[in-house]
Structure 1
Amino acid sequence: MAFDFAWLLWALPLAFGLGWAASRIDLRHWRLESRAVPRAYFRGLSHLLNEQQDQAIDALIEAARHEPDAAELHFALGGLFRRRGDYDRAVRVHQHLLARADLSSAERERAQHALALDFLKAGLLDRAEAAFEALLGTRYDAEARLALLGIHERARDWARAAEMAQALEGGPHGSFRLRLAHHRCEQALALQRQGRTGDALALLEALVQQIPASARAWVTLAEVRQSLGQTEGALAALHGLRQHCPSHLPLVAHALAQGALLTGQAADAQAALRAWAATYGPALDVTQALAVLESDAAAARAHYIDHLRQEPSLVAATLWLAGAPLGAGDDDRLLRRALERACEPLKRYRCAACGFESRQYFWQCPGCQGWDTYPPRRVEEL
């Protein structure tokens, strides 16, 4: 049977028409998808600006479905999950990014840094440590070392913390010498608890020579010397603090007065405290120390009057009243008790970073974990 070529005259135009129609449909679908992605992306951005994190996440997930290869969308999603506290999803997003073979080295380092932050925020310190160590030697080296320093401090691994502080010294984050001194002091206290007081003493004596601006180094040295019965050595350390860190003298004023009384150096201590007060103004702890050094009760109370002349202070007034003889009735006793109760909050120390208050002075704030954030003066004096 002969083939009828007339059918080709009909088939070719028909095939061309069907192909053209299919291409138009695909083109229209591609255009719709390309328009849908920016709309979802910008909708997510709008929600972010309005601080609507849940709606922003939904919009960005929709955008990521249309563009599964868009790394920026995944970084944005991971960051949002972390900010919301959804650390598991943040970790999965950043681990998915790291598993991709098409990431550039810069994007891979960025994903590794984001993953390390996820672990740190989630409190998984061992995983965070490993993730940050993988960033050493990259463009995130300084940030990784700073994070590792914080991790070692939280783990109370003071030897590794000291090594990291030394590595960070002179970098973009400023000086870490005082922070290193805190680490060395913690190591010395640990040695003292282990019964190795001699090693602790040697470490602290070297520390005050290396970092004389560290107030804690002088204070800890004085405490260790005093624990060994070296009262004169402890007093010498307190005078070293007065010379190198004069702003912290109120913290040790009482200990300085007691040491001076024990060693017969009351006059020298009194002269030193008076000179400090003349330079830096009245301080409650210094005023109390001066009162302790007086052998006469009237002379001791006169120091509180001098303090009140220079600076009004409810605490100083209460201390002055405490030295006055009680009256015949209970009125004086009730009045003093009420004043002492009112003074208690004024005797605390307050963190300048987070506002955490405590009756005890802390070198590292229990609230915000910041070092040297407590001013060495009481709340009333701030």
Structure 2
Amino acid sequence: MDFDLHWLQWLLLGIPIAFAFGWLASRFDLKQLKRDQRDTPKPYFKGLNLLLNEQQDKAIDAFIEAVQQDPQSSDLHFALGNLFRRRGEFERAVRVHEHLLNRADLPAAERQRAQNALAQDFMKAGLFDRAEAAYRALEGTPFDTEARLALLGLYERSRDWKAAADTAAKLERSGTGSFATRIAHHWCEVALDADERGQHAEADDALRRAREVAPHAARPLVLMGQRLARAGRHGEALEAWNELRRRAPAAFLLVATDYAKSAVASGETTAALSALKALHERQPSIDLLHAMAVLDPSPDAVQQRLAAQMRTQPSLAAALDVLDSPPAAWPGETLGALRQAVAKAAKPLQRYRCAACGFEAQHYFWQCPGCLSWDSYPPVRIEEL
């Protein structure tokens, strides 16, 4: 019993003590909050309000005033620099971020952030050599991946394909993602550049690299076959394109006619025609019809294949081929398929388009359903504009 009373006394004594500590902690937090608000320049909050209201010009003026009142605040400088960049005032953005980098008291994390912002300024301004140097300075920092991705875009834009392939390979090794197909494109571009300079051995090596990094990619096989065909090695070109036909039949359509010409040149007409017919049964295409016409140009065979194409997959391209032949050669059902193809192609052009926002509709509207503008629809359809 004595023990319970003793415990109760301590409990009653502890409640007011705990309350006092809580009250003191809340007062401390309130004082700290008031001090922070007092220390933060009022123009900063004014600038934020203007920015939220999309008044960028006035927001910039407010942030400049805030920076003048508190020149040591790096967050204010970043806000001002980003605003300048968004406004296209790249020179002023560069000055703000270079000023940050020149501060000896800037912490390492803030310095890296300023370096990244400066690199973005240079990139947006089109100063690619300075942007490259700025992004390279970020290697090994928390901005490393972001910098490498930016460098990859920079190298692709400036057509520095070897540097792009090297950067993409580093990104893949770092676990950022799969860049195999992209790297294959880079080496294909290297091959094209080498062929233009007459450096055919370098082009061969580049295509080999492209195939090694992305065996599934279609473009190396397309280029390989084209290079072999130009060199008169049509049998080898057919081998490359046959592999392409098996791996990527959709991409094979890009070289179907070249494939047929190489087949004629190498005496493989029958085998090539059989392969194209089999592919056409699975994937009807006007490109395959044109290729088969190279292998079997007899008028009757061409008309039969074209009529079958119009029945199964009417298109404007097939309709043009029909119109190139005399009407007497058209089978009876071809005229109906021809009308179907034209109607299908014309349907998207029979719409009305709002001049204010581009909203399209089959019916005419006096008020646009998209932007609610009045009288914004020209009273003519798209194909008549």
Q: Distance in 1 between the 2:39 and 2:65 partners?
A: 9
Q: Distance in 2 between the 1:323 and 1:212 partners?
A: 43
Instruction: Please give the secondary structure, in 1, of the residue aligned with 2:71.
Output: coil
Aligned-pair distance for 1:33?
A: 11
Residue correspondences, number: 300
Residues 1-382 of structure 1: pairs in structure 2 closer than 5 A: 37=40, 39-171=42-174, 173-205=176-208, 207-279=210-282, 281-324=283-326
Q: Which deviations, in whole Å up to 9, do the C-alpha atoms of 1:194-253 show, x marking residues without a partner?
A: 323234234424532442222211111112212221111112111121122222121111
Q: Distance in 2 between the 1:34 and 1:135 partners?
A: 34
- Relative to structure 1, the CA distance from residue 53 to residue 282 in structure 2 (aligned partners, 3 Å threshold; closer, same or farther) is farther
Instruction: Please give the secondary structure, in 1, of the residue aligned with 2:104.
Output: coil
Contact map agreement 1:201 1:225 (CA 8 A) in 2? no
Give, as a single letter, the amino acid of the residue that structure 2 aligns with 1:211. Answer: A
Q: Distance in 2 between the 1:305 and 1:117 partners?
A: 57
TM-score, normalized by length of structure 2?
A: 0.71
Instruction: Please give the secondary structure, in 2, of the residue aligned with 1:169.
Output: helix
- Relative to structure 1, the CA distance from residue 50 to residue 292 in structure 2 (aligned partners, 3 Å threshold; closer, same or farther) is farther
Aligned-pair distance for 1:62?
A: 2.1
Of 307-316 and 37-46, deviating more is 37-46
Contact map agreement 1:64 1:73 (CA 8 A) in 2? yes
Aligned-pair distance for 1:133?
A: 0.6
Aligned-pair distance for 1:173?
A: 4.1
TM-score, normalized by length of structure 1?
A: 0.72
Give, as a single letter, the amino acid of the residue that structure 1 aligns with 2:97. Answer: H
- Relative to structure 1, the CA distance from residue 239 to residue 98 in structure 2 (aligned partners, 3 Å threshold; closer, same or farther) is same
Q: Distance in 2 between the 1:145 and 1:48 partners?
A: 31
Contact map agreement 2:161 2:190 (CA 8 A) in 1? yes
Give, as a single letter, the amino acid of the residue that structure 2 aligns with 1:290. Answer: M
Q: Distance in 2 between the 1:294 and 1:239 partners?
A: 19
Gapped runs of 5+ residues in structure 1?
1-30, 328-338, 347-382
RMSD: 2.7
Gapped runs of 5+ residues in structure 2?
1-33, 330-341, 350-385
Q: Distance in 1 between the 2:182 and 2:35 partners?
A: 58
Aligned-pair distance for 1:108?
A: 0.7
Give, as a single letter, the amino acid of the residue that structure 1 aligns with 2:133. Answer: A
Contact map agreement 2:229 2:262 (CA 8 A) in 1? no
- Relative to structure 1, the CA distance from residue 297 to residue 44 in structure 2 (aligned partners, 3 Å threshold; closer, same or farther) is same
Aligned-pair distance for 1:60?
A: 1.6
Instruction: Please give the secondary structure, in 1, of the residue aligned with 2:141.
Output: coil
Give, as a single letter, the amino acid of the residue that structure 1 aligns with 2:142. Answer: R
Q: Distance in 1 between the 2:179 and 2:295 partners?
A: 38
Give, as a single letter, the amino acid of the residue that structure 2 aligns with 1:91. Answer: V
- Relative to structure 1, the CA distance from residue 44 to residue 270 in structure 2 (aligned partners, 3 Å threshold; closer, same or farther) is farther
Q: Distance in 1 between the 2:297 and 2:230 partners?
A: 27
Q: Distance in 2 between the 1:316 and 1:125 partners?
A: 47
Contact map agreement 1:91 1:119 (CA 8 A) in 2? yes
- Relative to structure 1, the CA distance from residue 301 to residue 42 in structure 2 (aligned partners, 3 Å threshold; closer, same or farther) is farther
Q: Distance in 2 between the 1:52 and 1:296 partners?
A: 70
